[in-house]
C-alpha cells in the first residue's frame, strides 16, 4: 500500500465520520457519536501514516523532504491539523457534538486535495525557494493556526444556530448544542490559540523570506493577505478584551476571519501572482 491509497482511505473516513457526527446531532444518538469519534481517531491514524509514508517515499525517490511543499500536501496537512485540534478539544470538553461542526472541514480539505482539477498530487523535488530548514517550521505553524480558525468558524456557526433572535434556543434539535456561554468561551480560546500560532508562522515566514530572497518582507500578495488576516483576528481579540464584545459579534468575526484565511490560502495562489505562486501547483 502506498501513501496515495492511505490518503484516499482517509478522505472516505472523514466523509463517513462527518455523516455520523451530523446524524448523531440530528437524532441525538450518543452511540452514533461514539462511533463517529472512534472512526475519526482511526482515520486520523491512517492519515498520519499516509503523510509519514509520503515523506518516506520522497526519500526513496532521492529528493527527500517533508510533504508540505505544494497545494496538495498543504491541504492534507490542513486536514490533519483540524482533526488533531478537534480531538484534543473533544477530549478536554467531553462533547462529541462539536464534531458535526469541525470534521466536515477536514473532509472538504481532503476531498478538494483529491478531486480538484489542477492540483498536482505527484511527489516532486523542492524548488530552490523551498530548500530551507524553515519550511517545516513556517508551514506547520501557519496551518496549525489555520486549523484552529477553521474550528472557531464551525463554533461560530454553532453559536448562531443556537441563538434564536435575541434568546438562547433550548428546545428541539438546536437545544442539544452546548450553552451559548460555553460556545462563546470556546470560540474565544480557539481564536487565541490560532492567533498565537499564526503570529509565529508569520515570523518564521519572514525569517525564511530573508534567507531565500534577501528581505524579511516584500509585500508579496501572500504576505499582505497574511497580515490582513492577522489584523482581522487581532481586531477580534482587541474588541473582546477592551470593548467586551461577546456572543453574536465574536461568532460573526470568527466566520469572517476564516473567510480571510481561505482567501489567503486559495485566492492569493489562484488570483494573484507573486513569490508564493508555486503553492498553487
pLDDT tens figures, 5-22: 999 999 999 999 999 999
Helix (H) / strand (E) element for 160: namely helix 134-162
Residue 128 CA to residue 140 CA, distance in Å, equals: 19
**pLDDT for position 274:** 52
CA dihedral 78, 82, 84, 85 (to 10 degrees): 130
A 10 A CB-CB count for 93 gives 13
Q: pLDDT class for 211, splitting at 50, 70, 90?
A: confident
The larger pLDDT score, comparing residue 53 to residue 168, is at 53
Whether residue 142 has pLDDT greater than 90: yes
Which set of grid coordinates corresponds to residue 26? Answer: 440530528
pLDDT, mean of residues 167-173: 68
**pLDDT for position 70:** 87
Q: For the chain, what percent of residues have pLDDT higher than 90?
A: 63
Q: pLDDT class for 166, splitting at 50, 70, 90?
A: low
The larger pLDDT score, comparing residue 72 to residue 166, is at 72
**pLDDT for position 278:** 47
Which set of grid coordinates corresponds to residue 16? Answer: 463517513
Longest dimension (CA), the chain: 61
Q: For the chain, what percent of residues have pLDDT higher than 70?
A: 93
pLDDT, mean of residues 145-169: 89
Kindly report the pTM of this predicted structure: 0.92
Amino acid at each position: 500500500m502506498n501513501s496515495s491509497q492511505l490518503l484516499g482511505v482517509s478522505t472516505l473516513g472523514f466523509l463517513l465520520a462527518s455523516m455520523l457526527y451530523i446524524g448523531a446531532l440530528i437524532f441525538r444518538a450518543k452511540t452514533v457519536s461514539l462511533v463517529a469519534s472512534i472512526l475519526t481517531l482511526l482515520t486520523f491514524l491512517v492519515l498520519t501514516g499516509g503523510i509519514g509514508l509520503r515523506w518516506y517515499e520522497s526519500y526513496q525517490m532521492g529528493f527527500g523532504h517533508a510533504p508540505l511543499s505544494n497545494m496538495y500536501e498543504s491541504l492534507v496537512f490542513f486536514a490533519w491539523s483540524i482533526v488533531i485540534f478537534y480531538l484534543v478539544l473533544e477530549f478536554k470538553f467531553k462533547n462529541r457534538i462539536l464534531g458535526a461542526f469541525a470534521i466536515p472541514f477536514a473532509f472538504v480539505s481532503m476531498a478538494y486535495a483529491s478531486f480538484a482539477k489542477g492540483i498536482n498530487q505527484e511527489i516532486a523535488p523542492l524548488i530552490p525557494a523551498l530548500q530551507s530548514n524553515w519550511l517545516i517550521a513556517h508551514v506547520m505553524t501557519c496551518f496549525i493556526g489555520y486549523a484552529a480558525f477553521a474550528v472557531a468558524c464551525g463554533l461560530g456557526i454553532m453559536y448562531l444556530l443556537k441563538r434564536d433572535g435575541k434568546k438562547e434556543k433550548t428546545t428541539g434539535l438546536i437545544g442539544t448544542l452546548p450553552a451559548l456561554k460555553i460556545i462563546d468561551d470556546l470560540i474565544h480560546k480557539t481564536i487565541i490559540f490560532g492567533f498565537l500560532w499564526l503570529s509565529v508562522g508569520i515570523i518564521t515566514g519572514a525569517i525564511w523570506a530573508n534567507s531565500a530572497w534577501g528581505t524579511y518582507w516584500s509585500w508579496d500578495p501572500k504576505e499582505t493577505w497574511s497580515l490582513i488576516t492577522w489584523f482581522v483576528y487581532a481586531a477580534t481579540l482587541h474588541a473582546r478584551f477592551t470593548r467586551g464584545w461577546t456572543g453574536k459579534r465574536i461568532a460573526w468575526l470568527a466566520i469572517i476571519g476564516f473567510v480571510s484565511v481561505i482567501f489567503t490560502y486559495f485566492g492569493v495562489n489562484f488570483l494573484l501572482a507573486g513569490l508564493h505562486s508555486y503553492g498553487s501547483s
